[in-house]
Amino acid sequence: MEFAYLGAAIGAGLAVIGAGMGIGKLASSAMEGIARQPEAAGDIRTNMIIAAALLEGVALLAEVICVLVVVTK
């Protein structure tokens, strides 16, 4: 039973760390792309926001699954 709590905590932590790293890399690449081609800033920004929303969705799903592991045990 205690291992379920530990696994859920580690899983939630990894999900948050992974999402944070992914969004950081995404923003970094977007800023670099905007600096290289300022006229494409609108398209790059739109694609960045969509990708960030998808990353946040995956992280939230992972955290919900970790919570469900604890609740169902």
Is 1 a residue whose pLDDT tops 80? no
pLDDT digits (tens, 9 = 90+) for 8-23: 889 999 999 999 999 9
Q: What are the structural domains of the chain?
A: 2-68 (1.20.20.10)
Q: What is the mean pLDDT of the chain?
A: 92
In angstroms, the CA 50 to CA 36 distance is 21
Confirm whether pTM is higher than 0.85.
no
Residue 44 is predicted with a pLDDT of: 96
- Choose among 2, 43, 73: nearest CA to 65: 73
Residue 25 is predicted with a pLDDT of: 97
